[in-house]
Structure 1
Amino acid sequence: MIYILYLALSNTLGFIMTNKQPTLLILAAGMASRYGSLKQVDSFGPSGETIIDYSIYDAIKAGFKKVSFIVKKDFHHEFKRIFDEKLAGKIETDYVFQDFDLTKFGIAQEIIRQKPWGTGHALISAKDQIDEPFCIINADDFYGYESFEKMYKFLSEEVTDENLALMGFEVNNTLSDHGKVSRGIFSVDEEGYMSEITERTKVYRDNGKMVFDEPEGTFPVPENSYASMNFWGFTPKVFQVGIEMFKNFAAENDQENGTNEFYIPSIAEEIIKSGKARFKVLPTSSTWFGVTYKEDKPIVQEKLSALVNAGVYPENLWF
């Protein structure tokens, strides 16, 4: 009787009653147009490791048992060649295809488009392969072990359909010295939850100050802002919200507006505004760095070598 009452109360509050292990979902289908080649599988570590390798290594250490790669179908075999053998026996691997087939989202209209639909579209592409709590990250960002440890703990102990999460990084620590970058800029309320988030596609330093460009002009990045870096903690319920939003987005961005993209922060913003859930901010002291431009590569290589020399990572992650 007590158990039935507890179960009913838990369902009322939206708790996820599951023993399923959380999954790591990696955004790896980008075109890398600013980098000039497929940076997702480029070598950065001293033994030829990709940035993805370090993320997976830290995720395994934190407790994750499964990783799913969101890739273009054309690159599927290349990813399998690079990752499957060395990850065998260490973590389960799976692949999600991000493509231009919109019928899977209930969209009958054919929309011819050259550029990918964006990270939000990549996220909902995993709707048929993930039915457990999961986190999603960028393939070309280094987050550090602490980030995966905190996210795994949250997804294992705290996540519900109404209580989601994202990692919080200081904006100034996420910018490139070689050009403008896209960042989800957000603020935190007194309870430690994200209050709002906006995707800024052109964030950079100008004379020592953080700014972002919009069609209307250049504006300062608000003080005490955080950058999301696309490290989110979700439940499968996010797919429902994302698909409905994407249907409207696709209808408004057909051939004539074929360069606009549908971003994950837009989904998060809708979830917050509609009162469906809140996002707990998991602040991290992990050192973040990433690669947007080719000029970023030697910097990333230098930082990874320093971590290896300091004993944080072995010289060869997998052997």
Structure 2
Amino acid sequence: MSKPTLLILAAGMASRYGSLKQVDGFGPHGETIIDYSIYDAIRAGFGKVVFIIREEFLEKMKTVFDEKLKGKIEVDYAFQDFDLTKFGVNHVIERTKPWGTAHAVMSAKDKVHEPFCVINADDFYGSDSFQKMAEFLTTEVSDQQMSLMGFQVGNTMSDYGYVSRGVCEVTPSGHMESVTERTNIYYKGEGDDRKIVYEENGVETDLDPKTRVSMNFWGFTPKIFEVAQAMFPAFVEENKENLKAEFFIPSVPDYMVKHKLADFKVIPTSSKWFGVTYKEDKPIVQESISKLVADGVYPEKLF
């Protein structure tokens, strides 16, 4: 079996962060979060990395990543853009924002022909997650059996504002029943009264801190491209007047499970997740990485 591929979602403009966090430095020598993900992926046995970016980011990304990854892992790029004709949509819709994470994944369909995992560029998932996903992608994956890394929502929050998470319902045997993208999850209250809630249509709903959520760490086969592309034209038609509508990844696995097209194993991980949604998150991430380096989990210089 061929080595799995790592697909990195790096096309976002980081509006809440305030700069291009895909290339921002967090490690002791200015390493990006992506550097740590790729380092973990190489150790776990991944053979290729594909960056999904906006075309205008290409030269910057190549400058940051190509030379240091040469000879270590194959590198390629796919562009998320506004040309929808390649996905079966034949009318022009004027937008300033791409169509979301599932649309981003679809943009890589000509670059990926083997089992692969999807991650966010700005999330630090830890080596255990990559080891477990690599094992799944080389021993268990099929068009009928895919996966996601399940994190506890209480371990994925920011103290500085709302976050978006795919909230999962999981069977006792550890398989996904459903996953719903919640775009407004936040802490409410202070001290002992602090709790996690999500807001939808002005209504707040409590979330148990142990609720499993997707952090966009998915294990797929190329079958996902076919299903997403079949869903996409109807989504665009339904949302053509909504310039902020996004075709999120969780909607595709959720559809596949409900229509019995595939089963999704929820893989628990002992890795400590951390990430950057807001500028204020940066020192916390830097401190966390420094501790991992000091503890010998990562070398001081990755590449």
Shorter chain as denominator, the TM-score bin is: over 0.9
- One of 271, 274, 280 as aligned partner of 1:289: 274
Shift of 1:187: 2.2
| Structure 2 counterpart of 1:91 | 73
Shift of 1:242: 0.4
- One of 108, 114, 117 as aligned partner of 2:96: 114
Q: Deviations over 1:70-104 (max 9, x none)?
A: 00000011101100000000000000100001111
Q: Does 1:317 align with 2:299?
A: no
Segments of 4+ moved more than 6 angstroms: none
Task: Tell whether the 8 Å contact from 2:198 to 2:207 is kept in structure 1 after alignment.
Answer: yes
Q: Does 1:166 align with 2:148?
A: yes
| Structure 1 counterpart of 2:164 | 182
Shift of 1:224: 4.0
- Distance (Å, rounded) in 2 between the aligned partners of 1:228 and 1:71: 21
Q: Does 1:259 align with 2:241?
A: no
- Distance (Å, rounded) in 2 between the aligned partners of 1:32 and 1:65: 28
Identity between Structure 1 and Structure 2 (%): 61
Task: Tell whether the 8 Å contact from 2:149 to 2:218 is kept in structure 1 after alignment.
Answer: yes
Which deviates further from its counterpart, 189-198 or 67-76? 189-198
Shift of 1:20: 2.1
| Structure 2 counterpart of 1:5 | none
| Structure 2 counterpart of 1:58 | 40
Q: How does 1:272-311 map to 2 (within 5 A)?
A: 272-311=257-296
Task: Tell whether the 8 Å contact from 1:192 to 1:281 is kept in structure 2 after alignment.
Answer: yes
Shift of 1:52: 0.1
- Distance (Å, rounded) in 2 between the aligned partners of 1:163 and 1:261: 26
Task: Tell me the TM-score normalized by structure 1.
Answer: 0.92
Is there any run of 5+ residues in structure 2 with no aligned partner, and where? none
SS of residue matched to 1:257: coil
| Structure 2 counterpart of 1:42 | 24
Shift of 1:223: 6.3
- One of 207, 212, 228 as aligned partner of 2:198: 212
- Distance (Å, rounded) in 1 between the aligned partners of 2:153 and 2:219: 19
Amino acid at match of 2:199: D
- Distance (Å, rounded) in 1 between the aligned partners of 2:25 and 2:208: 35
Amino acid at match of 1:113: R
Which of 1 and 2 has greater Rg?
1
Shift of 1:216: 3.7
SS of residue matched to 1:230: strand
